[in-house]
A and B are shown apart, each in its own frame.
Chain A
Amino acid sequence: MPKPQNFYLINRLLKKTKAMEEKMLSIFQKARWSPYAVGTGIGLLSWVTFALMNKALGVSTTFVRTAGMVEGLVSEDHIRSNAYFVKYLGTLEGPYPVFEWQFALVVMLVLGAFCASWLSSTRLSETVPDIWKVRFGPSKGVRFAGAFLAGIIVMFGARLAGGCTSGHGISGSLQLAVSSWIFFLCLFAAGIVTAWLLYGKGGKNNV
């Protein structure tokens, strides 16, 4: 039979654990985290990919593999003779896997973002962003066509530069790679000019 003062201690400990649990839960329920916390988290993830997987955190190569897979379904000879697809998917005699670690990473991005938004009940079902509506009207078709074309441009640029915001912007810059810092600066310069051309001075009030 524990002494009464021990009961008190156990009770206090239980209360403390419960408070901590609630605090943890409330962190996940928060809609937004500090950008510095998120940046630190992504920085730590890069440690893990370098140290445990001997890889750099990246995303856009998976789109090459996906495109290669789709084209390969039509004609495998075609992708096995294309120098760019051969780089990432190998040859007929020595094929590389399509669904490798980065492919899994990209697929799981969806679930990670789903869970994060679900926990904070901040899920969206956005079809046309507000600022786009002000500038280009509420048409879904126009926005979807715009997003599709812009998607083509984004990925073409990423492959031309050799990576995207993750592979170049974060993983490359943190390795002090020359290519990545050039990419980083050009990305921001072109992004700023394009956004201002698109939305102008008034756009600032609608963001």
Chain B
Amino acid sequence: MFEHFFANPATILMGGIIGFLFGFLLQKGGVTRYNVIVGQFMLKDFTVLKIMLTAVMVGSVGIYGMRALGFDIALHVKTTALLGNALGGLIFGAGMAVLGYCPGTAVAAMGEGSRHAIAGVFGMIVGAGLFAEVYPWIKSHILSVGNFGKVTFVDLTGLSPWLFIAGLWVAGIFGLVSLERWEKNNQS
């Protein structure tokens, strides 16, 4: 396996640059901190939601915009397996509330100096190994339930992606402005 350990240098370099910027942003956003993540789940600090929603809003316009302009940009949609997605999300969320990090923020938190994040990262490596060992059973018993393949809401409904993106922006802006206002009123 070690003869083919490294991919080509150009993709590694690009991945590294993106990772550096991503880590920089996560730290400056404050989401490498246990208090901020747990604060989100306690509905006290909405930083996580604000960052994620903004990223999704900006990202969706860019990806679908570039495609509309004729750039050759492929989508990378993950398989919809209703039981797997839902169960995985529930397990992930429960673990994240205890750990205080998701995979990306745990690695970035190590960079910021949080020692306990290292234990979390080791746990994650073990978790990935465990999943691989039980994968055959999960594939036939869980991932087969409600499997629709790699679908988006556009595929599912036949509507224009811009309808969803417009909805996302309207709901997002309305929600975030309301949230800011609510936070201001609750501060004093």
Q: Which residues from chain A sit less than 8 Å from chain B, CB to CB?
A: 30, 32-33, 35-36, 38-57, 59-60, 63-64, 66-72, 76, 79, 82-85, 89, 95-117, 120, 122-132, 140, 143-196, 198-199, 203-204, 207
CB distance from A169 to the nearest CB of B (A): 6
CB distance from A136 to the nearest CB of B (A): 10
Asked if A174 contacts B108 (CB within 8 A), the reply is no
Q: 20 pairs across A/B with beta carbons < 8 Å?
A: A39-B57, A45-B18, A53-B14, A64-B128, A89-B1, A96-B4, A112-B108, A113-B27, A124-B114, A129-B116, A148-B120, A152-B130, A153-B95, A158-B127, A174-B57, A174-B59, A177-B78, A181-B153, A182-B86, A184-B52
Which of these, A41, A54, A85, contacts B74 with CB under 8 Å?
Answer: A54
Contacts of B93 in A (CB 8 A): 157, 186-192, 194
Contacts of A56 in B (CB 8 A): 76
Contacts of A123 in B (CB 8 A): 112-113
Asked if A151 contacts B124 (CB within 8 A), the reply is yes
CB distance from B175 to the nearest CB of A (A): 13
* Given known contacts A67-B125, A89-B1, A109-B104, A178 and B111 CB-to-CB distance under 8 angstroms: no
Which of B58, B87, B106 counts the most A-chain CB atoms under 10 A from its CB? B58
* Given known contacts A45-B22, A174-B59, A155 and B104 CB-to-CB distance under 8 angstroms: no
The reply to whether the CB of B43 lies closer than 8 angstroms to some CB of chain A is yes
Of all A-B residue pairs in the complex, the 8 with the closest CB atoms, nearest first, are A151-B123, A112-B23, A161-B88, A39-B54, A43-B58, A186-B89, A155-B127, A101-B15
Contacts of A101 in B (CB 8 A): 7, 11-12, 14-15
Asked if A148 contacts B119 (CB within 8 A), the reply is yes
- Complex: chain A residue closest to B151, CB-CB: A178
- Complex: chain B residue closest to A89, CB-CB: B1
Asked if A127 contacts B115 (CB within 8 A), the reply is yes
